[in-house]
């Protein structure tokens, strides 16, 4: 039975991959509707022929890697249960020490390490792809350093969450999901609070914006929006990427306005001010807190569904999966599998909410700056720097895009320009 299930799983993954290869490379099209051709949203008006070709090639391959990554993770979880490797992790932990308190950390290390090795091929392909298309400027040793930081942060997070989770499972197999969710609320807020000052600096160096004149303009805008910001931070990303970004993260006193140095190097001050106004729009409309509330609501539903589905699956395939009960540590891959599938399945909904918020932030930014030419130029330059598609295929938009497409964003700005030209 385990062999049949394994063969079926691998076959399903193969067919899934072939479907998305056909969809992305043969069936779908990113061509613009006729009415948008020749407008500022048409990539042919701001990209040369070579850039257009590279954008299509890079986007299609990157999108394929995205659609393969989650099922690849699911395949890993299923196969380590079916093959008994998951039971080996537990056995190795039991053989390594007589003290139960150390067995879970040892199990988690082997689980995380083998999972890291399983994910490494797709990571290497993604890194190689971004280097080939000159998106990434990062050296391989630097990339591996970031990968190792990822590994230890993920391992440390599991080391905090998993012992608590299985304590709850042993105490109450019917209500563990509710208690786990209740504990996740302060933990999520704590992680958001410490991320800007403890986690982000592990990857990059942050320092106050060097351009004090630009910082003064940004802080003036922040003051008008009643945002309590004293500094704008710059991060050295040029040694890792040619892409551009700006964001506000953290909560409370640890919130930060951050600009990548690539953004500072490639955009004009007016374009940067539009992007900063966009980020301020999120603050003014409280998108961060709405996002936290939405995430916590989805996590509550997700944990409940994980409880129900795990009970149902173990009733049918407990012996095949070699997971005797929900409170056995060997159920961890099954819990993570279910949660990952639920997150992937719910991503069109969460992305739709995010796109709405991003569109609101765009509208706020253009109303604040009243400079549509600078705004359009910033989006065009973002498209060029990231070799992104202006009008991505439907499934790519639904599952990948937390922002409106560049076609939608630039078209909104053109409409604003036309309306205010008449006034």
Choose among 85, 90, 149: nearest CA to 118.
85
Residue with tokens 């609320």: 185
Average pLDDT score over residue span 356-363: 95
Angle between helix 49-82 and 85-96 (nearest 10): 60
The enclosing H or E element of 247 equals strand 246-249
C-beta separation of 184 from 209 below 8 A:
no
Q: Which residues are catalytic?
A: 279, 362
Choose among 302, 40, 72: nearest CA to 180.
302
C-beta separation of 36 from 395 below 8 A:
no
C-beta separation of 17 from 66 below 8 A:
no
pLDDT recorded at residue 341: 96
The enclosing H or E element of 234 equals strand 232-235
Residue 384 has pLDDT above 80, yes or no: yes
pTM of the entire structure?
0.92
Binding site feature residues: 278, 282, 358
Q: What pLDDT band is residue 419 in, cutting at 50, 70 and 90?
A: confident
C-beta separation of 111 from 333 below 8 A:
yes
Q: CA 345 to CA 314: how far, in whole Å?
A: 22
Backbone φ and ψ for 399, nearest 5 degrees, come out as -95, -20
C-beta separation of 325 from 293 below 8 A:
no
CA-CA distances (angstroms) from residue 282 to 93, 152, 327, 357? 46, 31, 41, 7
On the CB side of 388, CA atoms within 13 Å amount to: 23
CA-CA distances (angstroms) from residue 371 to 206, 275, 302? 29, 11, 43
Q: CA 299 to CA 301: how far, in whole Å?
A: 5
pLDDT recorded at residue 422: 58
Q: CA 23 to CA 57: how far, in whole Å?
A: 14
- For every residue of 101-115, DSSP letters joined together read HHHHHHHHHHHHHHH
The percentage of the chain sitting over the pLDDT mark of 70, rounded to a whole number, equals 98
Residue 285 DSSP one-character state: T
Residue-wise pLDDT tens digits, 282-341 = 888 888 889 889 999 999 999 999 999 999 999 999 999 999 999 999 999 999 999 999
∠ CA(371), CA(259), CA(153), 5° rounding? Answer: 145
How many C-beta atoms lie closer than 10 Å to residue 2's C-beta?
16
pLDDT recorded at residue 83: 92
Binding site feature residues for Zn(2+): 278, 282, 358
Q: CA 119 to CA 113: how far, in whole Å?
A: 10
Radius of gyration of the chain (CA): 24
Q: CA 304 to CA 374: how far, in whole Å?
A: 47
Residue 6 has pLDDT above 90, yes or no: no
Residue-wise pLDDT tens digits, 154-205 = 999 999 999 999 999 999 989 999 999 999 999 988 888 888 888 888 998 8
The percentage of the chain sitting over the pLDDT mark of 90, rounded to a whole number, equals 73
How many C-beta atoms lie closer than 10 Å to residue 340's C-beta?
15
- Partners of residue 241 on adjacent β-strands: 136
How many C-beta atoms lie closer than 10 Å to residue 175's C-beta?
11
Domain boundaries, the chain: 173-423
Burial class (CB in 10 A: 0-12, 13-18, 19+), 315: exposed
Residue 354 has pLDDT above 80, yes or no: yes
Helices (H) and strands (E) in the chain, counts: 14, 4
Residue 224 has pLDDT above 90, yes or no: no
**190 CB-near residues (< 8 Å, 6+ apart):** none
Residue-wise pLDDT tens digits, 38-88 = 899 999 999 998 999 999 999 999 999 999 999 999 999 999 999 999 999
Q: Where are the beta strands (DSSP E) in 67-205?
A: none
Q: What pLDDT band is residue 353 in, cutting at 50, 70 and 90?
A: very high
Residue-wise pLDDT tens digits, 388-418 = 999 999 999 999 999 999 999 999 999 998 8
Q: CA 84 to CA 90: how far, in whole Å?
A: 10
C-beta separation of 279 from 222 below 8 A:
no
Backbone φ and ψ for 207, nearest 5 degrees, come out as -155, 160
C-beta separation of 190 from 298 below 8 A:
no
Residue-wise pLDDT tens digits, 79-137 = 999 999 999 999 999 999 888 889 999 999 999 999 999 999 999 999 999 999 999 99
Q: CA 30 to CA 53: how far, in whole Å?
A: 12
């Amino acid at each position: 039975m385990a062999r049949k299930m394994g063969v079926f799983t691998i076959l399903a993954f193969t067919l899934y991959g072939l479907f998305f290869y056909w969809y992305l490379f043969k069936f779908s099209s990113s061509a613009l509707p006729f009415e948008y051709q020749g407008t500022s949203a048409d990539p042919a008006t701001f990209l040369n022929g070579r850039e257009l070709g590279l954008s299509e090639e890079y986007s299609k391959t990157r999108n394929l890697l995205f659609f393969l990554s989650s099922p690849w993770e699911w395949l890993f979880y299923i196969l380590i249960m079916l093959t008994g490797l998951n039971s080996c992790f537990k056995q190795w932990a039991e053989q390594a020490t007589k003290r139960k308190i150390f067995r879970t950390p040892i199990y988690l290390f082997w689980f995380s390490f083998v999972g890291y090795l399983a994910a490494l091929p797709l990571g290497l392909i993604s890194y190689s792809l971004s280097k080939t298309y000159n998106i990434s400027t990062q050296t391989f040793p630097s990339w591996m350093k970031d990968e190792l930081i990822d590994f230890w942060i993920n391992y440390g997070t599991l080391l905090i969450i998993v012992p608590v989770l299985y304590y709850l499972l042993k105490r109450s197999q019917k209500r563990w999901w509710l208690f786990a969710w209740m504990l996740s609320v302060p933990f999520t807020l704590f992680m958001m609070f410490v991320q800007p000052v403890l986690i982000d600096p592990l990857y990059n160096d942050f320092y106050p914006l060097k351009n004090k004149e630009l910082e003064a303009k940004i802080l003036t805008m922040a003051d008008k929006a009643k945002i309590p910001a004293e500094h704008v931070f710059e991060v050295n990303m040029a040694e890792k990427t040619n892409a551009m970004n700006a964001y506000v993260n953290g909560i409370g006193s640890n919130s930060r306005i951050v600009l990548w140095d690539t953004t500072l190097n490639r955009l004009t001050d007016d374009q940067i001010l539009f992007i900063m106004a966009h980020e301020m729009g999120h603050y003014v409309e409280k998108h961060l807190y709405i996002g936290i509330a939405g995430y916590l609501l989805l996590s509550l539903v997700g944990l409940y569904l994980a409880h129900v589905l795990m009970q149902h699956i173990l009733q049918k395939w407990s012996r095949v999966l070699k997971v005797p009960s929900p409170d056995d540590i060997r159920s961890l891959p099954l819990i993570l599998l279910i949660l990952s599938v639920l997150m992937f399945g719910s991503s069109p909904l969460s992305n739709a909410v995010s796109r709405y918020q991003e569109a609101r932030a765009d509208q706020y930014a253009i109303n604040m700056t009243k400079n549509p030419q600078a705004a359009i130029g910033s989006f065009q330059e973002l498209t060029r720097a990231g070799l992104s598609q202006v009008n991505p295929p439907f499934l790519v938009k639904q599952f990948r895009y937390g922002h409106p497409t560049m076609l939608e964003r630039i078209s909104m700005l053109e409409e604003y320009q036309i309306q205010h030209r008449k006034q």
